[in-house]
Amino acid sequence: MSVWSSLVGQARVVETLQRAVAGDMTHAWLFTGPPGSGRSNAAIAFAAALQCERGGCGECHSCHTAMIGSHEAISVTRTQKLSIGVDEVRELVRSAALSPVGDRWQVMIIEDADRLTEQACNALLKAIEEPTARTVWILCAPTVEDVLPTIRSRTRLVVLATPAPAEIAAHLVARDGVTPERASYAARASQGHIGRARALATDEATLARRREVVSLPTELTSLGRCVIAAANLHDAATEESAEMTSRIDAREREDLDRTYGVVERGRRPRDYAPALRDLEKQQKTRAKRRVLDVVDRGLMDLVSVYRDAIAVQLGRADGLVNEEQRPAVLKLAHASTPEDNLARIEAVFTAREQMLEFNVPPLLALESMMMALRTSA
C-alpha cells in the first residue's frame, strides 16, 4: 500500500504530485479543499514521496517515519489556537534555512495556513520568495481566498475535491472493516468529510450525538424547547471538547514541569510561573476553539436536514443525506416551504459567523439561532 492510498477520490491530485516527485517540482505549494477532503493527508503523503527513493512506496523507513510524523526532514505545523503568530513562523523560517540531510528534500508543512496572522504571512513571504536549495513549503487552507494574494501568487495550487460517498464508503470498508451498510450511512452523513465518516462508522458515541442533532428540526416547536436545545447542544460540545483536550493539557503540564525540574527538585524556579501562565493561556484558547469546532460540526448536520427537506419539496427525494430520518424530513417538508428552510439555513450560517468571526458567546448565538429555526407545533 503506497503513501497515496489514503487520498480518497483524489486521482488527479495524485497524478500531479507524482509528476512533481518525478521531476516537475516547485518550491512552494498551496493545497486547498473543503474540510475533510484530505488536505493534510495529501501534504504528508507528498512529503513522504519526496523522501522515498521509490516515489512513495509506503513500505520503506522514510515513508514510515514520514507518515507517523517522525521524519527528521519533515516539519508539520498545526494549531488548535485561533491563529498562527509571527514568532512561530520566524522559527520555521530559521529551520528552513538549514540544509536537509543527504540529497532528499526538506519539507515545511503548514496545515492551517488560513490562520496565519498578517505579520506571520509577511515573515513567511521572504522565505517563499527566496527559498533555500531543496526546501519545499506546503501550505494548506480551505480556499485560495483564505491566503493573502502575495502568498498564493508565489505558490503552485493543488485543489482537492470532495470525495463521492461511494468512494468514502469503499475506503471505510477496506481500511476499517466496517459493514457496507454502516459505511454507506457514514459516508452520506459525513457529507464528504473523511475523518468525520470514520468517526461515525467506528464510534457509537459520535453516532449517537449526530442522531440527537438531526432530530432537532421537528422538535423546535416552542420557546422553551428552543432554549433547551441550544443549552443541550452547547453542553454536549463543551463536554466533548473537554474529553479531547484534558489529556493533551495534562501531558503538556507534565512536560513543562519536567523541563523546569519541578518533578525532580520539588520546587519551582523563578521563570516557571510565566511559562505556566503562557501554557494555560494557550490551553484556554485551544479549548475555546475546540468547542467552536464541535458546535460547527453540529450546525452542518442541522443544515443537512434542511437541505434534505428542500430536496423533497422540489421533487428530488432520492439520495437524501439523512435517509434514516426520512419520516422526520418529510414531516418538516410538509409543514414548511422551500423559502422557510432556506431562511433556516441562513440562520444557521449567521450563528456560525457570529461565533467564528465576531466572538459572540456560543450559547447566546445558539439560542438566537434555535428561535429562528422554530416550526409550528
- What pLDDT, in 10s, does the model give residues 39-57? 999 999 999 999 999 999 9
State CA 48 to chain mean position distance.
21
In a 3-state reduction of DSSP, which class is residue 76?
A: strand
The reply to whether 137 and 96 lie within a common domain is yes
pTM over 0.85: no
DSSP helix/strand/coil, 86: helix
Which three three-digit cell numbers place residue 57? 512506496
Q: Are 81 and 88 in contact (CB under 8 A)?
A: no
Same domain for 235 and 183, yes or no, is no
pLDDT interval class at 365 (50, 70, 90): very high
User: For the chain, how far is it from start to end, CA to CA, in angstroms?
Assistant: 54
Q: Report CA 285 to chain centroid distance, whole Å.
A: 17
Q: What is the pLDDT of residue 190?
A: 94
Find out whether 93 and 124 touch, Cβ atoms under 8 Å: yes
Task: Please tell me whether residues 130 and 53 are part of one structural domain.
Answer: yes
The whole-number average pLDDT for the span 326-351 is 96
CA angle 32, 33, 36 (to 5 degrees): 130
3-class SS at 341? Answer: helix
* Residue 358: exposure state from Cβ atoms within 10 A (0-12, 13-18, ≥19): exposed
Amino acid at 165: P
Tell me the per-residue pLDDT of 17-35, one tens digit each, with 9 for 90 and over: 999 999 999 999 999 999 8
Helices 39-51 and 61-68 pack at an angle, to 10 degrees, of 150
Split into its structural domains, the chain has a count of 3
Say if 231 falls within a structural domain.
yes
- pLDDT surpasses 90 at 2: yes
Per the structure, the complete domain to which residue 142 belongs is given by 3-159
Does residue 207 form part of some domain? no
